[in-house]
A and B are shown apart, each in its own frame.
Chain A
Amino acid sequence: MLLTEEKPKIGQKYVDALRQQFGWSIQEEAWQAPDQVTVTVELNSLPSVVETLYYQHGGWLSVVAGNDERPINGHFALYYVLSVEGDEQAPENKREKCYFVVRTLIPPHQMEFPAVTPRVPAAIWYEREVRDMFGLQPIGLPDERRLVLPDDWPEGLYPLRKDSMDYRYRPEPTTEDETYEFIDVEGEGIVQVPLGPLHITSDEPGHFRLYVDGEHIVDADYRLFYVHRGMEKLAETRMTYDQVTFLADRICGICGYAHNVAYSTSIERALGIAVPERAQYIRTILLEVERLHSHLLNLGLACHFVGFDTGFMQFFRVREKSMKMAELLTGTRKTYGMNLIGGVRRDILKEERTQTLQWIKELRQEVTDLVAMLLETPYIVQRTQDIGRLESKVARDYSPVGPTLRGSGFARDIRVIHPYCAYDRVPWTLTYKDGCDVLARTLIRAEEFFESLSMVERCLDTMPEGPVLTEGFRYKPYAYALGYVEAPRGEDIHWSMLGDNQKLYRWRCRASSYNNWPPLRYMLRGNTISDAPLIVASIDPCYSCTERVTVVDVRKKKAQVVPYKELERYCRERKHSPLK
């Protein structure tokens, strides 16, 4: 929406500061919402501008979107999205918080841009992805490997370029082998442990390599994106705006609704659609219901990985109640399919309301007992305290999100920083801890669970009247904006640009785990190999671990493949090391 001059512009002072520092390099500013600004900068000053925002104005890197804008303005564009939250030394109420998007244009004959990663490490995965999908070369990026595209994908074919290929084009595999090169760790006695890509407990596939010296992890490297399917291309070619909401549900089997809301709000914000109050409350309720079952799942897994399988089964038993709640409110247990652009598809009437309130009471009682049981089990604390430490410094550099970040002493939750839906109208308290370890992250999830229960109660009690759906708006070509949601694992953020044919021109969706993976390497370092599955589970990753682990012993100079099952057993029992 074009904003008239009187509307507040939160973040103007950052734009002014940049203009003062960089002068003519700052070319254009455009406001998509009162707290959302996109500033176009000259290509060569991109790293300095992002660095200034990141480290001097309290910025956190949320997402980087590449875009092929050649049909619109003859250039490729990059959008670095930062959540700028003001000087961390300043008092909380003095800090201006906005989404600041740094945009830069790349002429198509050049196909290069200066990498931001050497200055802001958080950009590492994003710049590798832009190289994969658009063929734009980040100059100065230390990591030359592919990130998203599979090993058997041909060189020089870039899926997201508008003129490169049809979305259905399936090139012949170029290789039958896995050609991904894991990093080399030099040193006496280091052993490699590969883990993956299939495994029993968790979800999606991923391939790990742990470098160990005896029992201690020296370093780790991982290959993910085994499940890259090409959703962004699909949304841009086959689907209409309302259909993409159903696709967004299928980004993740656990926090699908969070993606759904993030996508819908991005479109609604770009068009300036006012979503009815009641719909906003319903969205809030469902987002919190999703957090309920997601956190119970993770608490269950935490029990499982320390060998406390009774707890695991108990948490899953109780979790069914939250699944029933979702089924009652939406009609399905998982993929809710509840959003349309402009509102929701289903109201909450008395019958659902009464039953939900009843189940909340029961859940609160049952989970209180379970958490008490969990914490009274002596080895839980023993196994999780000071394990998998994510130091605040590393966390600051890599912009992790959600409980992973809040466990390292940052009170950072999108629901507070950039309130959406009804989060600024329902009172609730934010949880954070400075233990930096697995225990802190687990306890945050337990506390958030109870907060979510209260939030659902409060929303149900204070839901306003009125419609649940807005209709009769028009789509404006090439309008763009951000949508964001604090999913159970952290910030989900979507950047959408509308097209001129009832389809999205560009959709960049970033799931929360994307930001949590790069710092995982630092969490694993220095721990023993038996804690690895526990640490990986503590970021609650959206992936499925692995069937085996390659262990590389630095001292004995030999590589050994350990079945993941073995490693998981060792993590539970801590007896009979598979390395001996």
Chain B
Amino acid sequence: MAEYNIKTDSAYAVRPNEAVDRLKGALLKDIQRSCYVYRVDCGGCNGCEIEIFAAITPIFDAERFGIKVVSSPRHADVLVFTGAVTRSMRVPALRAYHAAPEPKVCVAYGACGCSGGIFHDLYCVWGGADKILPIDLYIPGCPPTPPATIHGFAVALGLLNQKMKAGYHSLQDDERSQLLHPQVPLDLRIQIERAARRMAGYWHGRRIADVFLTMIKNGDPLKLSSTLQEYLVAQDDPRLSEIMGRLEEIYLAWFAAH
């Protein structure tokens, strides 16, 4: 087996010079006009392309901010690179980059464009767009939603400030992470949570199990049935009643066994 050949700092990267950097700084700082965007698909799955599309069509309408998608890199101020850079697309992507006039802003779009995403270390992929080109802005997401896209561009154009703040939490000596529902016996809790997940999946299952476990915790076991009935009548959802019924059965069986 041949040795790995994984380039983290690729020899093929384009490095702009200082003068261009100054120009670009000015462009980003003082942009007083609309900006033209050209999309370069370096090997994406289409998800990103179509979300960009969605962002420029009537509901989101990025054009109201002066952001316009153009059909040639020669007209572009902003290049948007989507997808993990594949071997075949490296040269076309570089060609598009060189075709755009300086100063230009390069955006890495989507999880794959930012880092290579799920494909980051594959044999036919060079990684994110920043492996071959200098990138000024990252818009993450798989794919980024149209609102995230517009927000990203607004940040790039200086219309908005980046919403980013760091927070740190250091664990104290006597600090313990809190368990959920510590009053409910562990084996019962596991049974209830698993049943809820099998019935309603991860997202709804977690919510439903939480409601049920809170009822057990706070109420008298003998009154559970009536509390539950009240709750279900208020919710008026036959599927929820079915799931809660199943959880109640498990609880009663456990209760009888203990």
Asked if A and B bind, the verdict is yes
Q: Name A residues whose Cβ lies closer than 8 Å to a Cβ of B.
A: 149-153, 159, 163-173, 176-178, 197-200, 202-205, 225-231, 233-234, 238, 246-247, 250-254, 256, 297, 313-314, 316-317, 319-320, 323, 331, 333-335, 344-351, 465-469, 471, 542, 544, 547, 563-565, 568
Task: Across the A-B interface, give the 7 residue pairs with the lowest CB-CB distance, nearest first.
Answer: A253-B47, A253-B46, A350-B237, A316-B57, A200-B71, A203-B46, A346-B201
Set B4, B50, B92, B122: member contacting A230, Cβ < 8 A:
B122
Give the residue name and chain of the B residue nearest to A331 (CB). Answer: B203
Whole-angstrom CA separation of A176 from B237 in the bound complex: 62
- Chosen A-B contacts, 27 in total, with CB atoms closer than 8 Å, are A153-B124, A164-B1, A165-B2, A165-B123, A166-B123, A167-B122, A173-B87, A178-B91, A197-B88, A198-B41, A202-B49, A226-B86, A227-B43, A228-B88, A229-B86, A230-B119, A234-B122, A251-B45, A253-B49, A297-B50, A313-B58, A323-B54, A335-B142, A346-B202, A347-B199, A466-B199, A544-B46
| Contact A252-B46, Cβ < 8 Å, known A169-B2, A198-B40 | yes
* Known interface pairs A228-B43, A229-B43, A250-B47; 4 further A-B residue pairs with C-beta atoms within 8 A, sorted by A's residue number: A169-B2, A317-B59, A333-B145, A563-B72
Digitize B1-21: 1 where CB-to-A-CB distance is under 8 Å, 0 elsewhere: 111111100000000000000
Which stretch, B155-163, B175-183, B211-219, B238-246, touches the partner chain A? B238-246
Please measure, in the bound complex, the distance between the C-alpha atom of A226 and the C-alpha atom of B86, giving whole angstroms: 7
A258 to B45, CA, bound (A): 14
Contact (A150, B86) CB under 8 Å given A234-B122, A350-B239 = yes
Is the pair B124, A228 in contact by a Cβ cutoff of 8 Å? yes
| Closest A residue, CB atoms, query B60 | A320
- Supposing A250-B118, A347-B204, A468-B201 touch, asked if A197 and B39 sit within 8 A by C-beta, the answer is no
Whether B123 lies near A203 (C-beta < 8 A) is: no
Check A200 against B2 for contact (C-beta < 8 Å): no
Chain B residues whose C-beta falls within 8 Å of the C-beta of A544 in the assembled complex: 41, 46, 49
Q: Are B88 and A204 in contact (CB under 8 A)?
A: no
Cα distance, A351 to B46, chains bound together (Å) = 31
Q: Which residues of chain B from 29 to 67 have any CB-CB distance to chain A below 8 Å in the complex?
A: 39-41, 43-51, 53-54, 57-59
Q: Does B197 lie at the interface of the complex (its beta carbon under 8 Å from any beta carbon of A)? A: yes
In the complex where A165-B2, A320-B59, A565-B71 touch, is A345 in contact with B46 (Cβ < 8 A)? no
Smallest Cβ-Cβ distance to A239: which chain B residue: B118
B199 touches A467 (CB 8 A): yes
Picked from A149, A173, A313, the residue with its CB within 8 Å of the CB of B57 is A313
A contact patch SS: loop
Closest to A337 in B: B142
Q: A233-B122, A346-B201, A468-B200 are in contact. Are A205 and B45 (CB under 8 A)?
A: no
| Set of chain A residues within 8 Å of B240, measured between Cβ atoms | 349-350
Q: A153-B87, A335-B142, A344-B201 are in contact. Are A205 and B92 (CB under 8 A)?
A: yes
Q: Which of B84-101 contact A (CB under 8 A)?
A: 84, 86-92, 96
B200 touches A166 (CB 8 A): no
Q: Are A226 and B92 CB-contacts (below 8 A) given A165-B1, A317-B58, A468-B200?
A: yes
Q: Complex formed: what's the CA distance from A471 to B70 in Å? A: 50
Give complex CA distance A202, B51 in Å: 12
State whether B86 touches A168 (Cβ < 8 A): no
The listed residue (B47, B200, B203, B236) touching A256 by CB distance below 8 A is B47
Kindly name the residue among A227, A254, A313, A568 whose own CB sees the greatest number of chain B CB atoms within 10 A: A227
| Residues of the A chain whose Cβ atoms lie less than 8 Å from the Cβ of B92 | 197-198, 205, 226
For A200, give the chain B residue with the smallest CB separation: B71
A230 near B47: Cβ-Cβ < 8 Å: no
What count of chain B residues pass the 8 Å CB interface test? 67
Residues in B with CB closer than 8 Å to A471 are: 198
Shortest distance between the CB of A344 and any CB in chain B (Å): 6
In the bound assembly, the distance between CA atoms of A564 and B70 in angstroms comes to 12
B50 / chain A contacts, CB cutoff of 8 Å: 203, 253-254, 297, 334
Contact between A167 and B198, CB atoms less than 8 A apart: no
Complex contact A333–B118 (CB within 8 A)? no
| Interface assignment of B128: CB less than 8 Å from any CB of chain A | no
Give Cα A252 to B41, complex, Å. 13
* A177 CA to B6 CA, complexed, in Å: 22
Determine the chain B residues whose CB is within 8 A of the CB of A231 once the complex forms.
119, 122
Asked whether any CB of chain A lies closer than 8 Å to the CB of B248, the reply is no
The answer to whether A468 touches B198, judged by C-beta atoms less than 8 angstroms apart, is yes
Bitwise interface map of B from 120 to 141 toward A, beta carbon under 8 Å scored 1, else 0: 0111111000000000000000
Q: Given the complex of chains A and B, what is the CA–CA distance between A226 and B202 in angstroms?
A: 37
Decide: B44 and A204 in contact? CB cutoff 8 A. yes
Residues from chain A with Cβ under 8 Å of B3 in the complex: 169
For residue B105, CB closer than 8 A to chain A, the reply is no
- Provide the bound-state CA to CA distance between A471 and B118, in Å: 26
Distance in Å: Cβ of B177 to nearest Cβ of chain A? 25
Give every chain A residue within 8 A of B72 (Cβ-Cβ): 547, 563, 565
Q: How near does chain A come to B78, taking the closest CB pair, in angstroms?
A: 14
Closest to A202 in B: B49
Q: How far, in whole Å, are A568 and B198 apart by their CA atoms in the complex?
A: 51
Q: How far is the CA of A205 from the CA of B47 in the complex (A)?
A: 14
A200 touching B57, Cβ below 8 Å: no
Among B58, B83, B91, B204, the residue within 8 A (CB) of A227 is: B83
B202 nearest CB neighbor, chain A only: A345
Within the assembled complex, what's the spacing in Å between the Cα atoms of A578 and B13?
A: 36
